[in-house]
Amino acid sequence: MSAAPPRRVTIKDVAARAGVSKGAVSLAFNDRPGVSDATRDRIFQAARDLGWAPNVRARGLSSGARVDTIGLAICRPARLLGLEPFYMEFISGVESVLAERSCSLLLHLVRDVEEEIALQQRWWQGRQVGGSILVDFRENDPRVPALRAIGLPAVAVGHPSLTGGFTSVWTDDATAATEAVRYLAALGHRRIARVGGPAGLGHSAIRAKAFTEATRELGLADDLQIATGYEGEEGARATRSLLLMAERPTAVLYDNDIMAVAGTAVAAELGLSVPRDLSLLAWDDSQLCRLTHPPLSAMSHDVHGFGADVARTLFAVIDDGEARSHQVATPSLTPRGSTAPPQGQGVSRKVAPPESDPASGGLEAPLDAPADNTYDRRP
């Protein structure tokens, strides 16, 4: 005989735990006068302990909160966001669902996590949004306790190990990274490198760990990984550093398509042919991958559909107070012209550093350690 499902926590339970009336709980979560700061803190703590958040639809009807707008804050320089196909596709997927409900997206670029916390608090307490989409989670992300404390309805785009109890939607980055390494190894590559995103981001750490484990399991050469900030210039610098090694890699896996495209340019600059001398594999398949020559092999997934799924899940949280966390389809390998078995001459062939080109910023020194990529800057 199956156990009865747990009873849903209500505002009455929160009031009882905090030793106040239901009206006081309502005043606290609606940021209205009538309760002291100490009482408000006690109410929020009780809500956190019980895992309770107010029903946004009911709150909106009673207090005038905006339920026709959702928020999305992204920690990226504006110039990079405009070039990054992933977020353009993701946002278009979100917008496709908002259009069905005659809702709007409130998008804001922030410099760091602290700025985002303050922004989300203003949005929610100022009744500007009915809920938010949270992206780019880090380990022990400070947004989790801060935003749960105010009862913000949100969907987290990230693995549940990073998102602290928020409803989550995620892709299996570990499995995808492992598949990429195994594919390149099956082609015959023994020195495979990875040009990743910022080391502090949770999904970058997950991919890096899976890459290390896969290369060790397959008995491949040294664990060659460089962390970057996702920009084409940084991808080019990382690629140049790898290709000027005494024993250079014969295949490189990139964490996004912008850096992979930059990598093809560096290979040509150094006189290497793709894929004869060097195989390249991108993450987040996009039109960029199909327009390069040769077309880039990629770990493909439906980013537009991912954004739409996230938006629908957020509306389930807003409408019902809860929604099921779930994993979407794992990125799958799409082989194209940029990957092939390594040629004998390519494995041992050395390349000479090009002359410094002022227009391109010159030849950078090899990257001995991951760059500091906190995005704590504006363009």
Q: Which of 203, 189, 238 is nearest to 339 (CA)?
A: 189
State the pLDDT confidence band at 1, using cuts at 50, 70 and 90: very low
The dihedrals phi and psi of 163, each to the nearest 5 degrees, come to -100, 5
Mean pLDDT computed over 153-171 = 95
Query: Measured between alpha carbons, how far is 370 from 260 in angstroms, rounded to an integer?
Result: 18
**Per-residue pLDDT tens over the stretch 313-326:** 999 998 888 899 99
Ranking 105-109, 176-180, 185-189, 345-349 by mean pLDDT, the lowest is 345-349
Give the per-residue pLDDT at 53.
67
- Alpha helices of 192-333 — where are they, by DSSP H? 202-217, 232-243, 257-269, 287-291, 303-320
Query: What was the pLDDT predicted at 357?
Result: 44
Looking at 2-6, 237-241, 257-261, 287-291, which range is the least confident one? 2-6
Q: DSSP characters for 167-180? A: EEEE--HHHHHHHH
pLDDT score, position 347: 42
With bands split at pLDDT 50, 70 and 90, how would you rate the model's confidence at 50? confident
Task: Mean pLDDT check: name the lowest of 59-73, 272-286, 313-327, 346-360.
Answer: 346-360
> pTM of the entire structure?
0.74
Q: Which residue has the higher pLDDT, 109 or 49?
A: 109
pLDDT(330) > 50: yes
Q: What is the pLDDT of residue 366?
A: 36
Q: 59-85 burial string, b = 16+ CB within 10 Å, else e?
A: bbeeeebbbebbbbbbbbbeebbeebb
Average pLDDT over residues 73-101: 87
- Looking at residue 284, its pLDDT comes to 85
Q: Of 333-337, 347-351, 374-378, give the range with the top mean pLDDT.
A: 333-337
Is the pLDDT confidence value at 289 over 60?
Answer: yes
- C-alpha to C-alpha distances, 349 to 246, 270, 313, nearest whole angstrom: 10, 11, 51
For residue 367, the tally of other CB atoms under 10 A from its CB is 18
Looking at residue 358, its pLDDT comes to 38
**Cα–Cα distance between 208 and 174 in angstroms, integer?**
8
What pLDDT, on a 0 to 100 scale, did the predictor assign at position 375?
28
How high is the pLDDT of residue 76?
Answer: 80
* More confident: 26 or 269: 269
Q: What is the pLDDT of residue 22?
A: 85
Q: Distance between CA 290 and CA 280 in Å, rounded?
A: 13
pLDDT > 70: percent of the chain = 84
Q: Using omega within 30 degrees of 0 as the cis cutoff, is the peptide bond preceding 294 cis?
A: yes
**End-to-end distance of the chain based on CA atoms, in angstroms?**
61
Residue 61 has pLDDT above 60, yes or no: no
Position 25 confidence tier, pLDDT thresholds 50, 70, 90: confident
Q: How far apart are CA 247 and CA 185, in angstroms?
A: 17
pLDDT tens by residue, 350-368: 454 544 443 333 333 334 3
Cis peptide before 275 (omega within 30 of 0): yes
3-state DSSP call for residue 134? strand
Confidence bin at 55 (pLDDT 50/70/90) = low
